[in-house]
Chains A and B, each alone.
Chain A
Amino acid sequence: MVKKLITEDTKLFMTGNEVIAYAAVAAGAEFMYGYPITPQNEVMHTWCKLLPKTEAGFLQTEDEISAGFSTLGGILAGKKAFTATAGPGNVIMQDAMSMAEMNRLPFVCAVMQRGGPSTATVIYAQQETTLTCFGGNGEGYRIVYSTAGHQDLYDYTIKAFNTAWKYKFPTFILADGYQGKMREPVMAYDPEARGIDLVPATPYLRADGVAGVDRKPVHLRNCFNLEEELMEVLDSYEEEFNRIAPEIIEYQEYKAEDAEILIIAHGIVARSAMTAIDELRAKGVKAGLFRPITLRPLAIDPLRKAVNKAKQVLFTESANGQMARLALEKMYGLTTPYQTLYKMGVGVTGGDIVEKVEKMVKENNLVC
């Protein structure tokens, strides 16, 4: 067991990468495997700096392929293991993430999105949304929390471990370079002191006793001979994923109740939308926010309800509609018109959104 660092509510002022490392300790994470890539490095650095106090483990591997598979190895041995990556690292870690889907391993990974494609920028983007939700050769049986700042990073890092170990689907904290590198205050706490039970890790392999005598043998299958054998397994995953979705979905609404213009944004862009909404409301424009917190699975019913109530929808993100595609697919049959404000790999400011919404109001003679 790792040693606790935070035993009572403590206000910290640090970068988001540091917050993730502290939260992982609070979640009882025992081992981190990783390979350096900006803007994620300080998750590893901080985790390592804390090792003398936490007595946890760390292995720097030779690349992200290895970091991903080593994390799976740690998990198979029954350790709460995790990793963190970004950009091209997220691309080459997909093989291990797919294996986690196939074998239902509680893989946990923090993704600090940077600009793409390829090396692009080391700064910020929301361009790893599709990759994190649906990367790999499979169907995307993954749980993805999109965070919007340091308190989210702390809360959802803890939650990600619990979700992963409870439901046995790979779970992601999808953040970005801004959140990783920026500094803002955060309230750190001991989850158990707040009544949040930590789901214990149990070994997949080499558990106590004799397989077949004292316990059921473990059969983790990654390779199938027949097409139908595979489909049978995947059908059961699909059913399971849909069954647990209502327990997992999370979303946030901000002044959406009477909103005529509904802004749909996730992650840090949702915060810019909130700034914009306050400014627009002060000018008499009834704007509101729908922010999906889980991108996989998506809160479909609340999303449809909010969209149906609005006169117009605005999708905005720091990508060319990666989140919008996830949402639009689930909005089939709705007739609310929508517009987009996409800035690929660039931060969306409150000012950008205000300008766009004012244009929408003017063009459509909306009386707000």
Chain B
Amino acid sequence: MARAKIVLAGEGGQGVQSIAKILVEAGYSANKNVLYIPNFGVEQRGGVSIAFCQIADECIGEPRFSKGDIVIMLSDRAIERCACYVDENTTVVYDDSVCLKKPEMKAKRIINVSASKIANDELSARVFNMIILGVVLKATKVVSIQNAKDALELALGKKFVAKPELRDLNYKALERGMGLINNTASV
């Protein structure tokens, strides 16, 4: 892996930008070059929210890229909007417990996860995005789970001090997400 190009897309409010922030923070703490651009409209809630993330060993040039190595689609509208970032080298991940549609596009592989359902049934709706982060970690192997945990501490450390059980909940969600991708499915 010289440069991993990751697109995360969903509805505003799903936590797409939070996932991206923690992901690139993890990359930064692993001493990689990172660049993250959030992309959203003027809405306070709703609308498609996209995060373009790059984590690389070398210096990063282009801020935006044409095609992602992995494109995460967390809503029907995200599937529509982000089909253009997919080609035959892209791994597509979508949440089949949120999306009514199935992404129909030429990709390296298309993986369905049920992160939203798992979050609601087993953990908490609030850690849906941490399950997705776990999926990204496992699918890209771009940063270690320890890097991600460190970044999580940086983002939510104060909340964890007040409520230590939140830390366990987030860790569980991360690990549950990683478990949704089998080893052969990595990018």
Contact = CB atoms under 8 A, between A and B. Distances in A.
Interface in A169-188: 178-179, 181-185
Nearest to A39: B38
Given A13-B25, A122-B42, A181 B37 contact: yes
A157 interface: no
Nearest to A183: B36
Contacts of B67: 351
B120 interface: no
Interface string B27-42: 0100001111111111
A178 B33 contact: no
A274 interface: yes
A347 B63 CA distance: 8
Interface in A331-354: 347-352
B26 to A, nearest CB: 11
B65 A184 contact: no
B64 A178 contact: yes
B187 interface: no
Interface in B1-38: 21, 24-25, 28, 33-38
B64 A272 contact: yes
30 contacts: A13-B34, A38-B42, A121-B41, A122-B41, A122-B42, A123-B40, A149-B63, A178-B64, A181-B38, A182-B35, A182-B36, A182-B37, A183-B21, A183-B24, A183-B34, A184-B33, A184-B34, A184-B36, A185-B28, A185-B34, A271-B61, A271-B63, A272-B62, A274-B62, A278-B61, A349-B65, A350-B61, A350-B62, A350-B65, A351-B65
Contacts of A182: 35-38, 63
Interface of B: 21, 24-25, 28, 33-42, 60-67
A178 B63 contact: yes
Interface string A126-139: 00000000000000
B66 A13 contact: no
Contacts of B35: 182-184
Contact of B60 (A179, A184, A348): A184
A275 interface: yes
Contact of B62 (A183, A184, A185, A275): A275
Contacts of A351: 65-67
B24 A272 contact: no
Given A181-B38, A349-B66, 14 more contacts: A13-B28, A121-B41, A178-B37, A183-B24, A183-B36, A268-B63, A271-B61, A272-B61, A272-B63, A272-B64, A276-B62, A347-B63, A350-B62, A352-B66
B136 to A, nearest CB: 17
A274 B36 contact: no
Nearest to B42: A122
A178 B42 CA distance: 15
Contacts of A348: 64
B138 to A, nearest CB: 23
Contacts of A149: 63
Interface string A266-297: 00100110111010000000000000000000
Nearest to A278: B61
- The winner among B36, B37, B40 for most chain A CB atoms within 10 A is B37
Contacts of A123: 39-41
A179 to B, nearest CB: 8
A352 B33 CA distance: 23
A256 to B, nearest CB: 16
